Chain A
Amino acid sequence: MGDLIRIRDLTVRFYTYEGVVHAINDLDLDIRQGETLGIVGETGSGKSMTALAILRLIPYPGKIESGSIVFRDRDSGGETELLKLREDRMRAIRGNKISMVFQEPGAALNPVYTIGDQISEVFLLHRRRELGRQAKRRVDSLLSGGNGLAAGVKRPFWQWQSRLYNKIAEEPHAVEPRLLNRMPLFKRLLWRLQDEANLLTVKMLKDVEIPDAARVAAHYPHELSGGMKQRAVIAMALACSPELLIADEPTTSLDVTIQAQMLELFRRIKADRGASVLFITHNLGVAAEVCDRLAVMYAGRLCEVATLEDIFLHPLHPYTRALLNAVPIPGKELQTIPGALADALNPPPGCRFHPRCPSAMPMCQQERPKLKLVAKDHMVACYLF
């Protein structure tokens, strides 16, 4: 199992009215094939930004200043530098090879389109070839099976349809079908593609355990509960069997009971599909349920990266330890981390955590510590090690 994603020296800055915000600084991170990597950290630690950076969706006024993100495609085996990719190639990857699930399912879905429409959109975008082939097959069966006057009249039309879908199957983005798609009334002629996409959509919804999938697909987002919406969003993300699924706080806005179901779903996805998952959360308990490895971030920098066991049983970085201590345990006094979150505009020099660190040393203020491998599969960025 190799690396799926290799992030090196990633730096993202935001140029706001009040000043420059250093969202991510010199980040090095690997996501391995088939693993669920969790990124934990407080709000503002840069974890969501890391996800957006992989997909190159950093919003204005943010900018990816430097670094490299290499994606190794499992199917083709090739390596691509995502940050230098042409925009249209990047679009072919988004939603297809790498997809993302966001925190608020209600906000993530467009209120004026049905669930089915929004999911089938992904198929129509990335699986056109397959849809074309299927559509052609259906038309061909009509052509071979049909007899009688009605069939005879429609025959030339069907033959043209067959050729049309064949074209799409071979060249998904050929000129003629695309033109057809642009014109309001003629768009209708491509309805078989939509049909096939709908079939795949319903199958997908069933996969994420949505009951009565066909009916749900015809519903609008506001007609579904939070849990269902989130499942639908996950269905949308998994539609094209991506190699990497990025989930940004997918359970945060849900009830605890629904949360449990959702985590179960994630575990199943992991088992069934072998995709890698980048799971972003601020909740250590949730992370413990699904992740293989954990990365801890603070103020735009990585503090510690290790297996789940190692993080929970042998935490090394003072911040990690403080986080674990801060988990409320009934009966025990609540431990908090003293001090306030590092100011994004004027971060403290050297190690970002040093103002709040119980074991701070003079050298912590000077230069920031680099990530070092201190044990098997266990890296820390701290001068204590």
Chain B
Amino acid sequence: MELRSYIIRRLLLLIPVLFGVTLFIFGITMMFSPIERVSLYVTSARQMSDIPALIETYGLDRPFFVQYGNWIGQVFSGNLGWSRVVGMPVWDAIWTFLPATLELAIFACPLIILLGIFLGTTAAAHKDRPLDHGTRVMAIVGWSLPTFWLGLVLIMIFYGYFRGVLPPSRLSIQMDMVVNSADFVRYTHINTIDAILNLNGPVLLDALRHLVLPVITLSVVNVAFIMRLMRSSMLEALGKGYILTARAKGLAERMVINKHARRNALIPVITVSGYVFAGLANGVVITETIFTYKGIGWWAWQSAVRLDIASVLGFALFNAVLFVLVNLVVDILYTRVDPRVRLGGAVQ
């Protein structure tokens, strides 16, 4: 199957998924009163003042599917509603808070993947020996940690006990002023990248300092998960016939593991990485909340707690789209790595 037609096909599949997701969430929001649901349709604070008129305009007391249709129409015209908690349209809110989360993801993802794969390979290569047991215990403990608690403890130690070495939030107050000043050009709104592009060392360092703890908190659980998966998948690969062949050819053990076993072991890990990404979305909510790190996760939590339906729905939509896209990328990657699989999923 051609790559382009495959991509188009998968993107088309986005539609039923979005349909289902939004239907579900919309259904939940219907449990709220019309007054609360008004925010789904307005685009400025001023409009919020005349609620009965709004209810009339947007048909908030009409039957379910009429409303749903209405809302979908709104979405297509680019109106995702008004976010009460941050006082701006939902669409704007998403783009305002996204860079912060992206920054976390940029640092966390490579860490998770590389560290997870490395630890998993090591554990498998030293099966049943101290290194294996050690990494396994680390993984199980890491996996059992409540993320929010880990964050709190890290703050307690590194911010409290060590006098502000690694502080929460995105930037310290001085650096924040620098970043918002006229001299500092905002290319991406991602602090570290912008700092590099502006050749501003202090801002870069400050941003990095603030990133350390949230990235660690976010990563721990996921590293543990990937490590575990990598280990068992490596063990399975190492039991296969081609490994014996590789050894019989005279290859050094290191080559056998790294060249022959690992490539095969990565295949299931790649499949799973789409779900890990979803897990990251979870972790982001908690992490950002604890560290008062104003990204999308933080916004989502604020919205959920304060019953800001427009925001919640907007976030849900955004997430669904992201998830489908990520899975698409993962599936394509999968065919690159495993020559047995053709696009379209048929295994030969």
Say if the two chains contact directly (CB < 8 Å): yes
Residue numbers of A with Cβ under 8 A of B are 55, 57, 59, 88, 91-96, 99-100, 102, 104, 107-113, 121-122, 125-126, 220, 222-223, 233, 236
Q: Are B338 and A95 in contact (CB under 8 A)?
A: no
B348 at the interface (CB under 8 A from A): yes
Q: Which residues of A sit under 8 angstroms from B163, Cβ to Cβ?
A: none
Stretch in contact with the other chain, from B48-56, B177-185, B217-225, B240-248 = B240-248
- A96–B250 Cα distance when bound, in Å, is 8
Q: Are B250 and A94 in contact (CB under 8 A)?
A: yes
Q: Are A95 and B248 in contact (CB under 8 A)?
A: yes
Q: A57-B244, A104-B241 are in contact. Are A110 and B249 (CB under 8 A)?
A: no
Q: Are B249 and A94 in contact (CB under 8 A)?
A: yes
| Among B242, B246, B248, B252, contact of A107 (Cβ-Cβ < 8 Å) | B242
Q: Which residues of B sit under 8 angstroms from A222, Cβ to Cβ?
A: 339-340, 348
Q: Are B249 and A122 in contact (CB under 8 A)?
A: yes
- A59–B248 Cα distance when bound, in Å, is 12
Q: Which residues of B sit under 8 angstroms from A113, Cβ to Cβ?
A: 260, 263
Q: Are A102 and B249 in contact (CB under 8 A)?
A: no
B264 at the interface (CB under 8 A from A): yes
Q: Smallest CB-CB separation from A107: which chain B residue?
A: B241
Q: Are A220 and B250 in contact (CB under 8 A)?
A: no
Q: Are A110 and B260 in contact (CB under 8 A)?
A: yes
Q: Are B248 and A112 in contact (CB under 8 A)?
A: no
Q: Are B248 and A99 in contact (CB under 8 A)?
A: yes
Q: A110-B260, A111-B338 are in contact. Are A102 and B251 (CB under 8 A)?
A: no
Q: Are A220 and B340 in contact (CB under 8 A)?
A: yes
Q: Which residues of B sit under 8 angstroms from A223, Cβ to Cβ?
A: 348
- A93–B251 Cα distance when bound, in Å, is 11
Q: Which residues of A sit under 8 angstroms from B348, Cβ to Cβ?
A: 222-223
Q: Which residues of A sit under 8 angstroms from B252, Cβ to Cβ?
A: 88, 91
Q: Are A121 and B249 in contact (CB under 8 A)?
A: yes
Q: Are B250 and A93 in contact (CB under 8 A)?
A: yes
Q: A111-B338, A111-B340, A220-B340 are in contact. Are A57 and B245 (CB under 8 A)?
A: no
| Among A88, A91, A102, contact of B244 (Cβ-Cβ < 8 Å) | A102
B140 at the interface (CB under 8 A from A): no
Q: Smallest CB-CB separation from A100: which chain B residue?
A: B248
The winner among B242, B245, B348 for most chain A CB atoms within 10 A is B245
- A190–B232 Cα distance when bound, in Å, is 34
Q: Are A107 and B247 in contact (CB under 8 A)?
A: no
Q: Smallest CB-CB separation from B263: which chain A residue?
A: A112
Q: Which residues of B200-259 have CB atoms within 8 Å of chain A's CB atoms? A: 240-242, 244-252
B137 at the interface (CB under 8 A from A): no
Minimum distance in angstroms from B30 CB to a CB of chain A: 50
If A94-B249, A99-B249, A102-B241 are given as contacts, then 16 extra A-B residue pairs at C-beta distance below 8 Å, sorted by A number, are: A59-B244, A91-B250, A91-B251, A102-B245, A107-B241, A107-B242, A108-B242, A108-B245, A110-B263, A111-B242, A111-B339, A113-B260, A122-B249, A126-B250, A222-B348, A223-B348
Q: Which residues of B sit under 8 angstroms from A91, Cβ to Cβ?
A: 250-252
Q: Are A220 and B339 in contact (CB under 8 A)?
A: yes
- A365–B340 Cα distance when bound, in Å, is 55
Minimum distance in angstroms from A82 CB to a CB of chain B: 13
Minimum distance in angstroms from B297 CB to a CB of chain A: 34
B337 at the interface (CB under 8 A from A): yes
Give me 25 A-to-B residue pairs in the complex whose CB atoms sit less than 8 angstroms apart, sorted by A's number.
Answer: A57-B247, A92-B250, A94-B247, A95-B249, A95-B251, A99-B248, A100-B248, A102-B244, A102-B245, A107-B240, A107-B241, A108-B245, A109-B242, A109-B245, A110-B242, A110-B245, A110-B246, A110-B264, A111-B338, A112-B264, A121-B249, A122-B249, A125-B249, A125-B250, A125-B251
- A234–B153 Cα distance when bound, in Å, is 60
| Among B245, B249, B264, contact of A111 (Cβ-Cβ < 8 Å) | B264
Q: A57-B244, A107-B241 are in contact. Are A112 and B338 (CB under 8 A)?
A: yes
| Among all A-B residue pairs, the 6 with the closest Cβ atoms | A107-B241, A95-B249, A94-B250, A95-B250, A110-B242, A91-B250
Q: Which residues of A sit under 8 angstroms from B246, Cβ to Cβ?
A: 110
Minimum distance in angstroms from A252 CB to a CB of chain B: 14
- A216–B226 Cα distance when bound, in Å, is 36
Minimum distance in angstroms from B63 CB to a CB of chain A: 55
Minimum distance in angstroms from B91 CB to a CB of chain A: 41
Q: A108-B242, A112-B338, A220-B340 are in contact. Are A55 and B264 (CB under 8 A)?
A: no
Q: Which residues of B sit under 8 angstroms from A121, Cβ to Cβ?
A: 249, 251
- A368–B240 Cα distance when bound, in Å, is 37
Q: Which residues of A sit under 8 angstroms from B264, Cβ to Cβ?
A: 110-112
Q: Which residues of B324-342 have CB atoms within 8 Å of chain A's CB atoms? A: 337-340
- A92–B264 Cα distance when bound, in Å, is 26
